[in-house]
Structure 1
Amino acid sequence: MASSLVPNTLIGARYRLEKRIGQGGMAEVWLANDISLNRKVAVKMMKAQHNNDPVVIERFRREAQAAGNLSHPNIVTVYDVVENAGHQAVVMEYIEGLTLREVLDQKTRISPSLTIHIGMAIASALDAAHASGLVHRDIKPGNILITPTGRVMLADFGIAKAVNGNESDLTNQNIMMGTAKYLSPEQVRGKPLDGRADIYSLGLVLYECLAGRVPFIGESDVETALARVQREPTNLLKKRPNLPPALTNFIHQMLQREPSRRPSTGLQVYEALFRIREAGVDGTPTGLTPPSGQPGVIESHPLSPITGGPRPVIPGEVTISNPVTRTSIAPTARRASRFNVAPSTMLASAILLVVILVGVVTWRGITSDTPLTTEAPAAEPAPTMAAAPVGPVTITRAMSYDPNGDDGVENDELLPLLLDGMPRTQWRTVCYGDKFFGSKGGVGVVLELSSPATGTLMVNPQTKPWGIEVYSALDVVPAGLDQWGPRVAKSYGTEVGPTTFVVSEPAKYVLVWFREAGTSPACSTKNPFQGVLAGAGFTAGATTP
C-alpha cells in the first residue's frame, strides 16, 4: 500500500516531513525537521492501515513509553509522541549511520575487535534497560545502529516487555515475539522472560558477526526457532579457526540453552568482553592498558557508555574514510543507499573499519532485516573567515596520515577508538625502532571538523616522552606534510595525559603529527616506540593568533 504521507507534511504542528528513509510492516520512518528547535529528527509513523488496530496502537504507545523512560548514550532517544490526522507517530533521535544488518550484508563477517566493540555497547544498553525492568525481546542486527565514529546504539523497543509489569503482553501463547533467527530458547518455548533472553540474542548477533551467519537456520521460521531448543550451536572455532578462544568461549556461554548458565546481566557481558579486549584479540597485548602496563580497573555500575563523540545528542557524525594515501586523499563517490537522505561517503569495516560505503544518513528505526583532491593549497595562507563559528563544531572524520609510508595509512582500523569517548581505547601507530619514526620523520592523524573554525584542539597522548605538531588546512587535505603550510602549534611532553593546542586560523582539517614517540608496553624491545592517542576533541571559539 502506498504511503498516504508526502514530503512537507507538518506533523503535530512541529515536525515537517522531508523524506521517507525506511519502512517495515507496521510503520515507516521519515527524516523530519523539528521547526521549534531547528534540528533533524526521525519520525516513526504508524501505517494508515493500522490506525484502527488497538493492538498496534498500544504497541506504538508502549515503545515510546519504554524507550522514553531510558536515558543512555547507547540507546536511541525518544523525544516525543504525537498524533496527527489519525496517524500515530514517535519522534526519535536522528542517527546518521548504518544498521549492523547493512554492515553484515556488505561484509558478511567482521573483525573480532569490532565484534567486541559492538558487544560492549549493546551490553551497556541492555544493562540500563534491564535495570529499568525492561526486556527488549528483539535484539538483532537490524536494531543495532552504528555511527561512523563507532558509536553503537540500540533501537526499537516496540515489543519490549516489563519484567514485572501488570500490563498485558498484547500477544497470545501461540505467538513468538521477536525475529525467529535471534529468539532465545525460552522465547521459543513461551516461558517467562528476563534479561538473560536478551543476552542470548546478543550472543547470536556476535556469533553472526564472527561466523558470517547465525548458528540455527531452518527451512521456515518455525524450524529456525526450534533448532536452538534441540541442539547446541556449532563451535565458532570450526567456522573461523583463527578467532581468539576466550572470545568464542564467552559467546558460547551467552548461548547456553538454560538461562541460569548464561551471564545474568549486561554488566557481566560488558566486563567479560572488556577483559578479552584488554588481553588482546590476537593473543598479544593491544596497547589498550595504561602506559604502566598494569591492567585497568573495571568499574561496576554505571557502565561506561560506548559513545562516538562529544556532542550531547548526536555525537560525532563522522565518516571513517578510505585510507588517506599520497595520491588519493579522499574516497570516490559511493553508490547511494536505497534510503539515503543526503549524499556523503561512508565506509564500514573492521572497528568501523570502514562503516560501509553507502551514502551517509541512513536511519533505520524500523526493524526490518531487510572530492577532496590531492591539489595542494595555495602558498599563501587561507584568508581569515569573517566569522569562525563558536559553538557545537565537532570532529566529523578521522583519517590516519602517513605520507612517507608504503601505503599512506597507519592502523586505520583503530580510528574509531580515537573518537569513541572512552579513555581506555586508543588509536596508535605501529611500533618503531626509532623514536623519531625512522626515515618517515613522523606519522599523524587528520581530524575533519563539521565546519571551518578556530578553537582549541585537545589530544591525549599515552606514551612518553612525546612530540606533537599541529597543522591546519581550510579546503583540502594536502598530500604531503610540506604542503600544509606553516605549523600552527607544537608541544613536547614528558608525561601522558590530555594536552591542548590553539588553532588560531579557521580550519576544516587539523593534522596531529607525531614527531616523537615514547616507549610502549605493547611493543617489543626491538621496536619499542609507539605514538598513542586515547582521545581527541575540538572546542570552537575565538582565539588570539
Structure 2
Amino acid sequence: MAEVVGGRYELGAPLGRGGMARVVAARDLRLERDVAVKLVPIDDTGEHVDPVVRQRFVREARALAQFHHPHAVAVFDAGQDERYLYLVMELVRGPTLASRLAEEAPFEVAEAVRIVDEVLEALAAAHAVGIVHRDVKPGNVLLTLDGDVKLADFGIAKRLDEVAGDLTGTGQFVGTPKYLAPEQMTGLPVTSAVDVYATGVLLFELLAGDPPFDAPTPVATAIAHRDAPVPDVRDRRPDVPDHVADVVARAMAKDPAARFPSADAMRAALAGA
C-alpha cells in the first residue's frame, strides 16, 4: 500500500536526495494532480527535528510562497505530520541542467545564454521580494520537456532583511563550493550579489564545459573562488563573443560592488543592450 503524507499526498517514485531531505513524485488525492514532495524525516519520537533543519525548511516554504514566476518551481503546500516535514511543489517533468551538462557540454553559445537569461529572470523576481537564493547551480536548474528553465531548491534561500552573514552556527558556509561567491566563506553580509556571482559561474560552465574552479577538495575550490584570478572563458572556448565573456568576468568579480547591480542588469548586458 502506498504511503500517504499529510492525509492527501500519495508518495511515488523517488526524484532526488540532498542532505536531510528527499524528493519524491506524489499524487495529490484531494485535487487529483501530480506533484513533487520534499520530505524531511522526523526522528523516532515523532516530536523533534533538528532546529537548524526545521528553520531552513520553514524558510524554504516562506520563500517560495512569496513569489510566483514562470521560471521558478511553484510551491503548493507545506506542513508536518507524525513522520515528516513536507513541502509540496510543482512536478517538473524533465532533466536537471546538471544531467544535460554531463551529456552535452559545452553548450552552444545561444543556448547557454537563453538558459542563463531565464535563470536571471527568476532570480530578479526573487530579489524583488527580498529573497537571495544562495545556491544557484546546475542541479537546482530544472528543465521542462520543452527546455524551459525552472529554478528550484530555495532551501537555503533567505530574506535580505534576515541576512547578517553566511556562516552557520557551526562555522560552515552555506552553498556549493564550485559556485560559491567569495563573501559566502568570509562571514561578510550576503546580498543578491552572491546569486549574480553563481550565475556567472553557471554561464562559464555552460560555455566551457567545466566550472572555472574545481580543486581537489571542496575547501580548496572555495578558496580559489576567494583568491584565484577569474579565468577568461575565451581561453577555454575561443568562439565565445566578447560581450558574453565580459558578462562572465563582471558577474564573477571578487568584489560584490564590482558585479552587476542586479539580475536584470546582467540580463541586459547578456542581451547586448
TM-superposed CA distance for 1:188, in Å, is 1.9
Separation in structure 2 between the aligned mates of residue 129 and residue 258 of structure 1, nearest angstrom: 22
Deviation at 1:215, TM superposition (A): 1.0
For structure 1, the residue ranges without an aligned partner over 5 or more in a row are 1-6, 277-545
Q: Distance in 2 between matches of 1:259 and 1:166?
A: 15
Contact in 2 for aligned 1:20/1:29 (Cα 8 Å): yes
Aligned residues: 270
Paired with 1:170 and 1:39, the residues of 2 have a C-alpha distance of 39
Aligned counterpart, 2:189: 192
Query: How do residues 42-53 of structure 1 correspond to structure 2 at under 5 angstroms?
Result: 42-48=36-42, 52-53=49-50
1:59 partnered with 2:56: yes
Which structure has greater helix proportion? 2
SS of alignment partner, residue 119 of structure 2: helix
Q: Separation in 2 of the partners of 1:230 and 1:49? A: 41
Q: Provide the rounded CA distance (Å) in 1 between the counterparts of 2:167 and 2:57.
A: 11
Give the percent of matched residue pairs that are identical in Structure 1 and Structure 2. 38
1:48 deviation in Å? 4.5
2:166 and 2:174 in contact (8 A); partners too: no
Which residue identity is paired with 2:213? F
1:225 corresponds to: 222
Deviations 1:83-137 (A, max 9, x none): 1223100000000111111111112321111111111111111111111111111
1:351 corresponding residue in structure 2: none
Structure 1 position 157 matched with structure 2 position 151:
no
CA distance in 1, matches of 2:224, 2:265: 27
Q: Please tell me whether residue 13 in structure 1 is matched to residue 10 in structure 2.
A: no
Q: 1:132, 1:176 → 2: CA distance?
A: 24
User: 1:286-301 alignment to 2 at 5 Å?
Assistant: none
Distance 2:53 2:7 in 1: 24
- Once the two structures are superposed, the pairs formed by residues 462-501 of structure 1 within 5 Å of their partners are none
Q: CA deviation at 1:21?
A: 1.9
Aligned to 1:31: 25
Deviation at 1:63, TM superposition (A): 0.5
Other-structure match for 1:260:
257
- Specify the SS of the correspondent of 2:269: helix
Q: Which has the larger radius of gyration?
A: 1
Matches within 5 A, 1:333-482: none
1:216 to 213, 217, 231: 213
Alpha-carbon separation, structure 2, partners of 1:8 and 1:19:
11
Query: Which amino acid in the other structure matches residue 231 of structure 2?
Result: T
Indicate how the Cα distance of structure 1 residues 168 and 240 shifts in structure 2: closer, same or farther if over 3 A, else same: closer
1-side partners of 2:67 and 2:211: how far apart? Answer: 29
The whole-number CA distance in structure 1 between the counterparts of 2:170 and 2:57 is 21
Contact 1:43/1:90 (8 A) holds in 2? yes
CA distance in 2, matches of 1:251, 1:81: 37
What's the counterpart of residue 451 of structure 1?
none
8 Å CA contact retained: 2:132, 2:192: yes
Aligned equivalents of 1:191, 1:173: Cα separation in 2: 16
For 1:212, give the aligned amino acid. G
Structure having the higher strand fraction is: 1
Return the letter of the residue paired with 1:47. P
1:136 match: 133
**Cα deviation code 1:217-264 (max 9, x no counterpart):** 222111100112212222111101111111111111111111111111
The CA distance in 2 between the partners of 1:149 and 1:157, in whole Å, is 23
Residues 200 and 256 in structure 1, CA contact (< 8 A), matched pair in contact too: yes
Q: What's the CA shift for 1:55?
A: 1.1
**Aligned equivalent of 2:236:** 239
1:98 paired with 2:95, answer: yes
Mapping of 1:500-519 within 5 angstroms?
A: none
Q: CA deviation at 1:78?
A: 0.6
**Structure 2 residue runs without a partner (length 5+):** none
For residues 49 and 169 of structure 1, the distance between their equivalents in structure 2, rounded to whole angstroms, comes to 27
Equivalent-residue separation in structure 2 for 1:169 and 1:242 (angstroms): 37
Classify 1:122/1:180 alpha carbon distance in 2 versus 1 (closer, same or farther; 3 Å): same
2:172 matches 1:175: yes
Q: Is the 8 A contact 2:133 2:156 kept in 1?
A: yes
Task: Give the corresponding residue for 1:493.
Answer: none
Q: Shift in Å at residue 170 of structure 1?
A: 8.3
Deviation at 1:150, TM superposition (A): 2.2
Distance 1:31 1:209 in 2: 28
Local SS of the residue matching 1:260: helix
Shift >4 Å, 4+ stretches? 48-51, 166-170
| Secondary structure, aligned partner of 2:34 | strand
- TM-score by length of structure 2 reads 0.93
- Return the match for 1:272 from 243, 247, 269: 269
SS at match of 1:30: strand
1:364-390 CA distances to partner (integer Å, 9 max, x unpaired)? xxxxxxxxxxxxxxxxxxxxxxxxxxx
Partner of residue 82, structure 2: 85
Q: Aligned partners of 1:189, 1:213: CA distance in 2, in Å?
A: 25
Letter in 1 for 2:188: K
CA separation in 1, counterparts of 2:43 and 2:270? 44
Separation in 1 of the partners of 2:6 and 2:149? Answer: 30
* 1:295-325 superposed Cα distances (whole Å, 9 cap, x missing partner): xxxxxxxxxxxxxxxxxxxxxxxxxxxxxxx
Q: Give the letter aligned to residue 105 of structure 2.
A: T
Give the secondary structure class of the aligned counterpart of 2:162. Answer: coil
Does the aligned pair in 2 maintain the 1:55–1:170 contact within 8 Å? Answer: no
**1:436-487, CA deviations, whole angstroms, 9 ceiling, x for partnerless residues?**
xxxxxxxxxxxxxxxxxxxxxxxxxxxxxxxxxxxxxxxxxxxxxxxxxxxx
Q: Deviations over 1:483-511 (max 9, x none)?
A: xxxxxxxxxxxxxxxxxxxxxxxxxxxxx
* Aligned residues of 1:161 and 1:169 also touching (Cα < 8 A): no
Letter in 1 for 2:27: N
Q: Give SS of 1:200's match.
A: helix
SS in structure 2 at match of 1:203: helix
- Relative to the length of structure 1, the TM-score reads 0.48
Aligned residue for 1:98, secondary structure, equals coil
- CA distances 1:65-98 after superposition (whole Å, capped 9, x unpaired): 1111111111101100021223100000000111
